[in-house]
Amino acid sequence: MAISMILITGATGRIGSKLVESLLQSGKPVRVLVRNSQKAANLQALGASVCLGDLNRLDHLDVALQGCDRLFSIPPNTINQAEQEIQLYQAAKRTGIQHIVKLSTVKSDPESPCQFFKHHATAEQHLKQSGIKFTILQTNSFMQNFLWFSHEMRTKGTLSLPMRDAKTAPIDIRDVVRVGSAILTEEEHEGKTYNLTGSELLSLAEIAEKLSIVANQKITYIDASSLDFKQTLIQSNVPEWFAEAVTTSWQIASKGKPTLTDVVTQIGGKQPITFDEFAWDYKTIFAQE
């Protein structure tokens, strides 16, 4: 299947940067729309075509999309996320994009109290009605999210989250990239929504036990109150609306019952990375210095 150019938004993030690298290594032409010129230079050094621009600017979108036939949309967690995505999809239609792959969440819900999940649902609905061929990749949670709590684990020996004893189905972002790369270059995925998970259902207590082994110290899971968790986020200088959305996302996760899928194996062509494998790969971050 001939591909003229793949545009990736969110290309400087955890998933986007690895997706760019994966596609370039397989010989696919890649363009990125980024705001940060320094990060753009890093992607350009890998071989990506770079457009400096902003998702809020229609003229920037049209320039970035021109000449592309595929789009991988990794939306930012912004206060106007749905609006940005819809503008992007409208621009994609104007410029002749043939296939859009959207990264989303299995918790997307137009009635969700979590702003992130509501935005994803709104954008999904617009994409499905756009007339453009699409694939939606929904995830439960990312293993790499636990890197955010590595300082607490190293210094206090705790992992504090408002998750009660609920289980999650975390996926390594490297598996998301593997699936995304395949979908961008194959045609049989058009019109489909996939739920991407790892191979294990894990509670936070079980995750803490696994990280204890890698960190070579006891890490205890603490079921934090939502109020305490939100205040901790605010104290780290994130906006209050963002802290509220993140806290609500964990509250929703604490009531969820995720289902494991074999999408990574079927589309990505190999078994998902286990949490143990992830933890050992990032040992230098989790372990005490």
Q: Encode pLDDT of 81-92 as tens digits.
A: 999 999 999 999
Same domain assignment for residues 158 and 97: no
Same domain assignment for residues 146 and 285: yes
Contact status, residue 136 vs residue 104, Cβ threshold 8 Å: yes
The mean pLDDT value for 69-87 works out to: 96
The mean pLDDT value for 153-159 works out to: 96
Entry pTM:
0.95
Query: Does 182 map to a domain?
Result: no
Residue 227 has pLDDT above 80, yes or no: yes
Residue 51 has pLDDT above 70, yes or no: yes
Same domain assignment for residues 165 and 107: no
Query: Does 157 map to a domain?
Result: yes
Tens-place pLDDT, residues 251-263: 999 999 999 999 9
Query: Does 193 map to a domain?
Result: no
The mean pLDDT value for 95-115 works out to: 97
CA distance 58 to 61: 5
**CATH number for the domain including 87?**
3.40.50.720
Query: Does 281 map to a domain?
Result: yes
Contact status, residue 26 vs residue 90, Cβ threshold 8 Å: no
The mean pLDDT value for 18-41 works out to: 92
Strand bridging mode 167-168 / 202-203: antiparallel
Q: What tokens does 46 get?
A: 């890998």
Residue-by-residue DSSP string for 211-264: HHHHHTS--EEEE--HHHHHHHHHHTT--HHHHHHHHHHHHHHTT-------HH
- The runs of H, that is alpha helices, within 26-171 are 37-46, 58-65, 81-94, 115-128, 150-156
Residue 136 has pLDDT above 80, yes or no: yes
Query: Does 160 map to a domain?
Result: yes
pLDDT at 39: 83
pLDDT at 120: 98
Tell me which residue range forms the domain holding 58: 6-139
Same domain assignment for residues 134 and 120: yes
pLDDT at 14: 94
Same domain assignment for residues 23 and 134: yes
Same domain assignment for residues 206 and 276: yes
**CATH number for the domain including 243?**
3.90.25.10
pLDDT at 258: 94
Sole residue written with tokens 């593997």: 178
Same domain assignment for residues 152 and 280: yes
Query: Does 80 map to a domain?
Result: yes
Same domain assignment for residues 97 and 46: yes
pLDDT at 1: 57
Confidence of residue 289 (pLDDT cuts 50, 70, 90): low
Same domain assignment for residues 14 and 129: yes
Query: Does 177 map to a domain?
Result: no
Domain boundary among 116, 139, 162: 139
CA 241 to each of CA 46, 109, 192, 246, 261: distance values in angstroms, whole numbers, following the listed order: 36, 18, 32, 9, 32
Residue 172 has pLDDT above 70, yes or no: yes
Same domain assignment for residues 148 and 254: yes
Domain boundary among 118, 139, 160: 139
pLDDT at 37: 83
pLDDT at 33: 96
Contact status, residue 191 vs residue 134, Cβ threshold 8 Å: yes
Same domain assignment for residues 83 and 125: yes
Same domain assignment for residues 130 and 223: no
Provide the number of structural domains found in the chain: 2
CA 107 to each of CA 141, 146, 198: distance values in angstroms, whole numbers, following the listed order: 10, 19, 16
Query: Does 183 map to a domain?
Result: no
